[in-house]
């Protein structure tokens, strides 16, 4: 397989790298609080203007038509500088892609340009609930048709970007009689829909610039034509799009892991102990070699998953393998990098502390490492059945 990037892919990767290093990295540790939020949103707008909020979206809707491989490359570069920005960008692309895949022509014309252009700072993917995390088929949020409107009731948990999103893609039960996972539909909900409310942002361990909120629907009324895709067929849409989202999370993990190791590599080449640079000690060299080997393997898994998706082939197993390996090895890489730096890695003045907090969630969201193993095993057994 030839994994050489073409000219367009290289150009967009370099554009993402330049933006990350010049605009994001200098402010990455200053994005909390009101002043930080303003900077964060301004950076999202700039990303949209550069085409990064609709990388795999048709140009007729304002997208870049750059493809899944470029999406992975760009997320990795952005995550090297700011994981909070990377996760917002990843979810927005995921929302845009699910809309492009199943929305009506009118819905695409109305909403996709706003997601791609930055008119909407972000879009939300509302699937998870308190009793429906690893098992989203157990969701309780319901939608009942009341005349010419749908009546939404329930709540969604851990929703990225909720407090500044322009729209929400929401999954809800529309026919309980069909059983778990079979009577679920998908809806487009605008931010000012009556009955929609956003709870206070969660105080998180990492990725603190990216808001994570509970979204509550209390007799939330939305138009009849807010239904996206076929009635009662929404669950398989969510499952399919989660596979694509795993490429984004894996790419983000890779970026964080590389950033941590790149910083530590420079540090040990300059820091001296026992009269010589730390980089001269074989034990530390082996730690560095193992970490970079793992991260390179993660990159290849991600490229394979992205390429498989781009070719229109089944990619669920490949995406889960890539997400599982990349997130686990990126966590290990951050730990290794912190260890290489010793006590300085534990001090907030240095970025290792932030990288270690930001990377931790990557083994949890878009499906935990344990769920990825279940998916991979299921797909392997399917191949011989």
What are the sequence ranges of the domains in the chain?
7-121, 124-232, 244-382
Q: What is the mean pLDDT of residues 141-146?
A: 95
pLDDT band, residue 206 (cuts 50/70/90): very high
pLDDT band, residue 182 (cuts 50/70/90): confident
pLDDT for the residue 1: 60
366 is catalytic: yes
Q: What is the fold of 124-232? A: Butyryl-CoA Dehydrogenase, subunit A; domain 2 (2.40.110)
Residue 118's closest CA among 97, 140, 89? 89
Q: What is the mean pLDDT of residues 251-256?
A: 98
128 sits in the region (left: phi over 0; alpha: psi -120 to 50; else beta) called: beta
316 Cβ neighbours under 8 A, 6+ residues apart: 243, 375, 379
Q: For the ranges 4-13, 18-27, 131-140, which has the lowest average pLDDT?
A: 131-140
Q: How much of the chain exceeds pLDDT 70, in percent?
A: 100
pLDDT for the residue 255: 98
312 sits in the region (left: phi over 0; alpha: psi -120 to 50; else beta) called: left
Q: What is the mean pLDDT of residues 356-363?
A: 97
Q: How much of the chain exceeds pLDDT 90, in percent?
A: 89
One of 366, 370, 379, 383 is an active-site residue; which one? 366
pLDDT in tens, 325-352: 999 999 999 999 999 999 999 999 999 9
User: CB of 190 within 8 A of CB of 223?
Assistant: no
Q: What is the fold of 244-382? A: Butyryl-CoA Dehydrogenase, subunit A; domain 3 (1.20.140)
Burial class (CB in 10 A: 0-12, 13-18, 19+), 169: buried
Q: What is the mean pLDDT of residues 349-368?
A: 95
Q: Indicate if the pLDDT at residue 117 is higher than 80.
A: yes
**Distance from C-alpha of 28 to C-alpha of 85, rounded to nearest angstrom:** 9
pLDDT for the residue 272: 86
Q: Does the fold of domain 244-382 match that of domain 124-232?
A: no
Round the average pLDDT of the chain to a whole number and report it.
94
Q: pTM for the full model?
A: 0.95
Place of tokens 């022509």: 105
Place of tokens 């010589």: 276
**CATH 1.10.540.10 at 7-121, yes or no:** yes
């Amino acid at each position: 397989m030839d994994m050489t990037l073409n000219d367009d892919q290289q150009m967009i990767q370099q554009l993402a790298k330049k933006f990350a290093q010049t605009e994001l990295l200098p402010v990455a540790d200053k994005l909390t609080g009101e002043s930080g939020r303003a900077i964060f949103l301004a950076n999202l707008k700039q990303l949209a203007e550069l085409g990064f909020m609709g990388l795999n979206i048709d140009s007729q809707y304002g997208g870049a038509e750059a493809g899944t491989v470029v999406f992975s490359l760009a997320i990795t570069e952005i995550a090297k500088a700011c994981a909070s920005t990377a996760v917002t960008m990843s979810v927005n692309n995921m929302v845009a892609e699910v809309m492009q895949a199943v929305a009506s022509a009118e819905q695409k014309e109305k909403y996709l340009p706003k997601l791609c252009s930055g008119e909407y700072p972000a879009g939300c993917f509302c699937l998870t609930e308190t009793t429906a995390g690893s098992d989203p088929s157990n969701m309780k949020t319901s939608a009942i048709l009341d005349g010419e409107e749908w009546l939404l009731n329930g709540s969604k948990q851990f929703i990225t970007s909720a407090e500044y999103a322009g729209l929400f893609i929401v999954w809800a039960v529309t026919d309980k009689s069909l059983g778990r996972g079979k009577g679920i539909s998908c809806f487009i909900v605008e931010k000012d829909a009556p009955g929609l409310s956003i709870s206070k942002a969660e105080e998180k361990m990492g990725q603190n610039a990216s808001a994570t909120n509970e979204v509550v629907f209390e007799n939330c009324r939305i138009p009849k034509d807010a239904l996206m895709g076929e009635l009662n067929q929404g669950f398989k849409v969510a499952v399919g799009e989660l596979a694509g989202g795993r490429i984004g999370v894996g790419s983000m993990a890779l970026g964080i892991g590389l950033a941590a190791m790149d910083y530590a590599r420079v540090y040990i080449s300059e820091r001296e102990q026992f009269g010589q640079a730390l980089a001269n000690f074989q034990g530390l060299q082996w730690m560095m070699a193992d970490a970079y080997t793992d991260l390179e393997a993660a990159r290849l898994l991600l490229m394979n998953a992205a390429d498989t998706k781009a070719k229109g082939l089944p990619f669920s197993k490949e995406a889960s393998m890539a997400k599982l390996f990349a997130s686990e090895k990126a966590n290990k890489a951050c730990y290794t990098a912190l260890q290489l730096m010793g006590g300085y890695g534990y001090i907030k003045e240095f970025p290792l502390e932030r990288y270690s907090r930001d990377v931790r969630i990557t083994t949890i969201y878009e499906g935990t490492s344990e769920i990825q193993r279940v998916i991979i095993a299921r797909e392997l057994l399917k191949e011989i059945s």
